[in-house]
A and B are shown apart, each in its own frame.
Chain A
């Protein structure tokens, strides 16, 4: 009734005003891209006269004659005061709000307005990742959100991308966040079967993505309970909007090249260095120049030149979206082809998507989102990275003094004039003759029905499925490399990973006076399956026929395996959101999860969280003109980690053999008391808008993980495998701060300049490991109680003694010792101080340096976009500081025990007394200077220009003539340059994949490609 009275009053007032002198204003409201904005509010400033714009953005308003300004506003846009021009025609172009505080944010099973969010959630718009020539969607997110560290292991197709949200929350279990796309828990991680990695996220078309949300704190993530300790990434794909169909065609084409090449010795340098190494040791020459293909010229080959190429990349996408009546749709088809700079390495992907929603009546809505994709990756047939036939191991270490081809045109496989042979197989031959091809089909779908039971109460049931099947076909030619000893090898793997989940939720939202209430209750069941069939054939009769069968191969075999997850999760969850006057916010969530892999008694775990928010700027006492929006947030909650293997607690026996007699032995001792790892996280944050749209988000967090699932050493007399039992022991702590700033520096109609930057500082510390406080080792790093996570554990290099050219190390007590390989075995190690014979430097002399870990202390991104009339220019920077990389590649390329090619650094070797250098005297067989030591530990700090893009939008006049709504042409460089002091391939190199201990090992990972593309977007 009260409402009706005020309406009537307004009507009366309006009627009264309309009697006075008025003028009629007409106009239209559009966004900065000239799209109409319906429902925008137009009010004559200083009066209560107003109207809203129509579907086409147009409006008509009669205002008092004395009105000077119109205030035009709309949700998500910066409101504008426009002086009423003499012609009484107003064309308002509203700018999208630079701060995104008004956004709707997806938080699991419901959405909230960002303004009433009290958890920590970062949102990345689809526009920020569209049309980037990346191999998988995760790569495109690099540097986009504070506290989200995304590390691409290498430039190899399919290589691991490690994502850590606020550092590692585990030691031995998975650290990767849960990724959910449109409600579907996605299969992620490396799915590679034979010699090449295959990133499961490469199947997804990045251009279909509307937005990506990262749930960082416990309040936001705990609705995902036991899967959330590594954070949660929510991907929402595009949907259609009611109105005319929009057709977009996006295309780009370009080429890529290695971003960097290490320099190795040329043929002449090689021969002189190796032979010098030999002569210094009193040995005869081991290598020699010569003409081995009979072309009359001395053979000299730069293998990197022939193994690398300018790879072509292209992408085409057509999308059609729109809506009519009660139905909206978004559909797309795309083709992406990325030929890497490494010959034969290539990824092709087609995707098809259809997203559909259908309002059946006023209480029932249904819909689905589906994507089918086929990804074909052409890997390196003989393995990657540091494998003998891998790239870049092959091109970096192959003899530079032999030819590529023999006189008869076949690949040259000999050792040339090199008599001490440690040959690397002909790098071109192994790439061209061998292959490892993976053909992946992926279907991701979710379908739902949502019923409004009573006003404000909605019931939703959604079924999700993600199926990835792959066929890996691999071949080693019998003439070269790995296939040589086996006379030709064929291997195939058919594999499947399948996940379904089904959730049902009740959502209740009601506003009662000043009270906003939201209640959520739900249940979800998730089940993962996998299987693989492997077949191999050895000793190929005829290389023309490669199907594995006894008619083609002398030996064949096959094997079945689970090969992946076989687990299930039952979950019940509830949430409460409460707001008072939009000022005081409170939310609480709880999820309880049961995991199939735990014993029946400890299967269930509870993961509660709570958060509060206070919008101080809404208070009456808030007078600040400078800070016009300020919200304080605090949250605390508990999450878990389900990346713990299928049966971590199961006591089990596995089939074994006593030669011909089958037997059974304990494979896992089991632990029926095993339970979830628990991460409790406290977060304090603030969101502010300063002045004209400067936005600021700040968070401090402190995470503690306890009950880490680790292998606890037990007495050998108990007789369990590995003398360990899996127990909930160990704990670690992570704390840090995050800052995101949005700066709209210039906001003019024709000239806009925005800067966004984010940064995070993070410290990961191990509190305890196991009963004996033992180290957990990975790569060259360890987890040791009291030290930073993954701290390097290395022998200390003390340089080269200028007096004699011997390598020097410090023993555990700091005593400098030097090594002379020419001395008798017992006398090789001497003290630098007095030359007396001493004990050898061994692994017992390793020390930890708490300041040196592979995990950056500070990292983030910096992006800017500049729009000037029809032109736009943007770039994305990524940075990481305060971390170290172990350059294992360099160690191998400085070895004195092989005749493989060396890094050019070896030319700095000590030759005479008083030479100050870091490279010891060349001496054949000296194997101590390249042992794992701090000699190869380098600072990794870098600043990378990930993307520079320049574009031109055709003006509207021309577009209208061509009957187009949009045409943009652009050019971009992905991975343009990297500023770093690191001497190796790339400071992000990671040879160990997705681990928590042992990151930062650069062991022959191919450099990231630098990709140049030109492209256009056409909108009909």
Chain B
């Protein structure tokens, strides 16, 4: 009897002990434990694609980053008073806009660094080529994030002779915890540009020219996308020879065939996102977009959208925008009237898909590459360069069907040609996040900028003004305990 009871007790004890594992070892449902994120080839790729999701952030490349550049320029005004003091260059260091942008940019960089580390550590699960491709996608993401961050948070490259002025922290190592090495001082602008150029140069070598689907080719990093970014980087750096050389590669078809659409609005609106004019866009769809508060159509489109941002009279008026001729097709394809009660205002028609908020954010279009080539060529030439005029005409002609083409005789000097190219760039790339930075890189002041009423002129913003750049988010400055220094004036 005693033995019987003992046996029962013993088997009971074993049963009890086996229970422990059942209640403490629980596999989570709905999330993936981080040690599995790089466990298979497929997981590695999906995790790496998360870097694009970071860029698609509403506060970054799928919307706001582009909007801010235009809001600081003179082509649009903040009719809805939605963006606070940003358009009048008077942000506070604790404002949400710089904080969200900074976070979105550095999150992309951090995820890219982590993915590269994960790819390297699990290279055996991938073909050598795939590992290179995925790494190159991360490099592209890191480069474009650094490029946008440095232009928002540091004075333009050209504001010092060699870019030796203060830039942003250059983060290249992966973090998996609250790592103190993440607390880095700001590198110089030149150092950041050098890193961007190095990342892109490697990426162009390793990226594919095409992905299996056209959708991926237009939305994931390709040789052409990296090259288009690199051309823009050189342009902003004032390195026109390299800007010319890089854009030349795309124009000559080295990275695939690109061409302008017949109509100036041919690369905008539903159904037009994957044309040969698009080099790289951030895609959106009905389920995944920057939502009702942040989507491009929500801000820009008056009919159904909020229409916070209206097109200024400075942009429409031929005296303040001298290359915007009355017969320019883009006056009708790119601009529309507001609806009641905003019939007095004009809006852009580039992002019309308010219904599903699916408009893609146009990061690189072939038109930009042509204009970059034209400008770099014109600037590096000693004469009115005929090739620059040809490329300028490619963009101009489709909007000016009734006007005569430019010839070299149209320009009295090389400077006149450059001015025409910049004027064309302002019109062609309007509302796509270029204008203010084109002014900055050419050391221009912001003139004829209207306030949120669309009438009152904002005081002239000089090139080099302290508040032409964003404040470093005060919370980041505080958290860095003296390592991260605030921009002058904030």
Q: Chain A: residues with CB nearer than 8 A to chain B?
A: 453, 459, 461, 502, 504, 523, 525-527, 561-562, 566-570, 594-596, 603, 646-647, 650-671, 712-720, 723, 725, 727, 771-772
How many whole Å from B396's CB to the nearest CB in chain A? 32
Instruction: Tell me if B271 counts as interface (CB < 8 A to partner A).
Output: no
Known A-B contacts A461-B12, A663-B46; A717 and B23 likewise in contact (beta carbons under 8 Å): no
Residues of A within 8 A of B109 (CB): 717, 719
When each residue 273-304 of chain B gets 1 if its CB lies under 8 Å from chain A and 0 otherwise, what string results?
00000000011110111000000000000000
Residues of A within 8 A of B478 (CB): 772
How many whole Å from B355's CB to the nearest CB in chain A? 13
Known A-B contacts A568-B22, A596-B24, A717-B171; A667 and B219 likewise in contact (beta carbons under 8 Å): no
Residues of B within 8 A of A661 (CB): 49, 52, 215-216, 219-220, 283
B56 touches A659 (CB 8 A): yes
A526 touches B23 (CB 8 A): yes
A647 touches B52 (CB 8 A): no
A656 touches B24 (CB 8 A): no
A659 touches B29 (CB 8 A): no
Contact of A652 among B23, B34, B177 (CB under 8 A): B34
A725 touches B20 (CB 8 A): no
When each residue 23-35 of chain B gets 1 if its CB lies under 8 Å from chain A and 0 otherwise, what string results?
1111011111111
Q: 14 new A-B pairs (CB below 8 Å) besides A525-B19, A568-B23? A: A525-B16, A525-B22, A570-B19, A647-B28, A650-B33, A652-B34, A653-B36, A659-B285, A660-B285, A664-B46, A714-B182, A716-B476, A718-B182, A719-B106
Please measure, in the bound complex, the distance between the C-alpha atom of A660 and the C-alpha atom of B53, giving whole angstroms. Answer: 11
Instruction: Tell me if B473 counts as interface (CB < 8 A to partner A).
Output: yes
How many whole Å from A563's CB to the nearest CB in chain B? 10
A652 touches B110 (CB 8 A): no
B31 touches A668 (CB 8 A): yes
Closest residue of chain B to A671, judged by CB? Answer: B177
Instruction: Tell me if B479 counts as interface (CB < 8 A to partner A).
Output: yes
Residues of A within 8 A of B46 (CB): 662-664
A525 touches B50 (CB 8 A): no
Q: Is the interface of A mostly helix, strand, loop or mixed?
A: strand
Instruction: Tell me if B251 counts as interface (CB < 8 A to partner A).
Output: no
How many whole Å from B174's CB to the nearest CB in chain A? 9
Known A-B contacts A657-B287, A659-B288, A660-B215; A719 and B25 likewise in contact (beta carbons under 8 Å): no
B179 touches A658 (CB 8 A): no
Residues of A within 8 A of B284 (CB): 659
Residues of A within 8 A of B25 (CB): 596
Residues of B within 8 A of A650 (CB): 28, 31, 33-34
Residues of B within 8 A of A654 (CB): 30-32
When each residue 86-112 of chain B gets 1 if its CB lies under 8 Å from chain A and 0 otherwise, what string results?
000000000000000011001111110
Please measure, in the bound complex, the distance between the C-alpha atom of A856 and the C-alpha atom of B344, giving whole angstroms. Answer: 56
How many whole Å from B358's CB to the nearest CB in chain A? 8
Please measure, in the bound complex, the distance between the C-alpha atom of A568 and the C-alpha atom of B32, giving whole angstroms. Answer: 19
When each residue 472-490 of chain B gets 1 if its CB lies under 8 Å from chain A and 0 otherwise, what string results?
0101101110000000000
A718 touches B175 (CB 8 A): yes
Instruction: Tell me if B443 counts as interface (CB < 8 A to partner A).
Output: no
Known A-B contacts A657-B288, A659-B288, A670-B34; A527 and B22 likewise in contact (beta carbons under 8 Å): yes
B31 touches A653 (CB 8 A): yes
| Of listed A566, A646, A651, A659, residue having the most chain B CB within 10 A | A659
B33 touches A656 (CB 8 A): no
Contact of B26 among A567, A669, A717 (CB under 8 A): A567
When each residue 226-244 of chain B gets 1 if its CB lies under 8 Å from chain A and 0 otherwise, what string results?
0000000000000000000
Instruction: Tell me if B178 counts as interface (CB < 8 A to partner A).
Output: yes
Residues of A within 8 A of B282 (CB): 659
| Of listed B28, B283, B284, B480, residue having the most chain A CB within 10 A | B28
How many whole Å from A829's CB to the nearest CB in chain B? 16
Please measure, in the bound complex, the distance between the C-alpha atom of A986 and the C-alpha atom of B323, giving whole angstroms. Answer: 67
Interface size, chain B (Cβ < 8 Å) = 67
How many whole Å from A330's CB to the nearest CB in chain B? 29
Closest residue of chain B to A604, judged by CB? Answer: B24
Residues of A within 8 A of B215 (CB): 660-661
B106 touches A716 (CB 8 A): yes
Residues of B within 8 A of A453 (CB): 5
Residues of B within 8 A of A715 (CB): 182-183, 476, 479-480
Instruction: Tell me if B317 counts as interface (CB < 8 A to partner A).
Output: no
> 4 closest pairs, A vs B, by CB?
A719-B110, A568-B23, A659-B283, A651-B34
How many whole Å from A599's CB to the nearest CB in chain B? 11
How many whole Å from A678's CB to the nearest CB in chain B? 19
Please measure, in the bound complex, the distance between the C-alpha atom of A670 and the C-alpha atom of B52, giving whole angstroms. Answer: 22
Q: Is the interface of B mostly helix, strand, loop or mixed?
A: helix
Residues of B within 8 A of A725 (CB): 177-178
Contact of A603 among B24, B29, B50 (CB under 8 A): B24
Residues of B within 8 A of A664 (CB): 32, 37, 43, 46-47, 49-50
B31 touches A667 (CB 8 A): yes
Instruction: Tell me if B184 counts as interface (CB < 8 A to partner A).
Output: yes
Residues of B within 8 A of A656 (CB): 50, 53
Closest residue of chain B to A451, judged by CB? Answer: B5
B182 touches A653 (CB 8 A): no
Please measure, in the bound complex, the distance between the C-alpha atom of A504 and the C-alpha atom of B9, giving whole angstroms. Answer: 11
Residues of A within 8 A of B33 (CB): 650-653
Q: Chain B: residues with CB nearer than 8 A to chain A?
A: 5, 9, 12, 16, 19-20, 22-26, 28-37, 43, 46-47, 49-50, 52-54, 56, 102-103, 106-111, 113-114, 169, 171, 175-179, 182-184, 215-216, 219-220, 282-285, 287-289, 473, 475-476, 478-480
B285 touches A525 (CB 8 A): no
A716 touches B20 (CB 8 A): no
| Of listed B34, B56, B288, B475, residue having the most chain A CB within 10 A | B34
| Of listed B9, B20, B284, B478, residue having the most chain A CB within 10 A | B20
Please measure, in the bound complex, the distance between the C-alpha atom of A504 and the C-alpha atom of B114, giving whole angstroms. Answer: 47
Contact of B184 among A461, A526, A669, A717 (CB under 8 A): A717
How many whole Å from A9's CB to the nearest CB in chain B? 40
Please measure, in the bound complex, the distance between the C-alpha atom of A715 and the C-alpha atom of B179, giving whole angstroms. Answer: 9
How many whole Å from A486's CB to the nearest CB in chain B? 14
Contact of B182 among A502, A567, A717 (CB under 8 A): A717
Residues of B within 8 A of A717 (CB): 106, 109-110, 169, 171, 175, 182-184
Residues of B within 8 A of A716 (CB): 102-103, 106-107, 473, 476
Residues of A within 8 A of B43 (CB): 664
Please measure, in the bound complex, the distance between the C-alpha atom of A527 and the C-alpha atom of B22, giving whole angstroms. Answer: 8
Residues of B within 8 A of A669 (CB): 177
Contact of B110 among A570, A659, A662, A718 (CB under 8 A): A718
A525 touches B479 (CB 8 A): no
Please measure, in the bound complex, the distance between the C-alpha atom of A135 and the C-alpha atom of B176, giving whole angstroms. Answer: 48
Please measure, in the bound complex, the distance between the C-alpha atom of A662 and the C-alpha atom of B33, giving whole angstroms. Answer: 17
A570 touches B23 (CB 8 A): yes
Please measure, in the bound complex, the distance between the C-alpha atom of A720 and the C-alpha atom of B479, giving whole angstroms. Answer: 15
B12 touches A504 (CB 8 A): yes
Residues of B within 8 A of A667 (CB): 31
Residues of B within 8 A of A719 (CB): 106-111, 113-114, 175
Known A-B contacts A664-B46, A718-B175; A652 and B19 likewise in contact (beta carbons under 8 Å): no
| Of listed B37, B109, B480, residue having the most chain A CB within 10 A | B37
Please measure, in the bound complex, the distance between the C-alpha atom of A651 and the C-alpha atom of B178, giving whole angstroms. Answer: 13
Contact of B103 among A561, A568, A723 (CB under 8 A): A723
| Of listed B24, B32, B50, B113, residue having the most chain A CB within 10 A | B24
Closest residue of chain B to A598, judged by CB? Answer: B24
Residues of B within 8 A of A727 (CB): 178
Residues of A within 8 A of B110 (CB): 717-720
Please measure, in the bound complex, the distance between the C-alpha atom of A565 and the C-alpha atom of B468, giving whole angstroms. Answer: 50
Contact of B49 among A562, A662, A713, A771 (CB under 8 A): A662
B20 touches A657 (CB 8 A): no
Known A-B contacts A660-B285, A665-B50; A653 and B29 likewise in contact (beta carbons under 8 Å): no
B34 touches A666 (CB 8 A): yes
Residues of A within 8 A of B175 (CB): 717-719
Please measure, in the bound complex, the distance between the C-alpha atom of A594 and the C-alpha atom of B282, giving whole angstroms. Answer: 46
Please measure, in the bound complex, the distance between the C-alpha atom of A663 and the C-alpha atom of B37, giving whole angstroms. Answer: 11
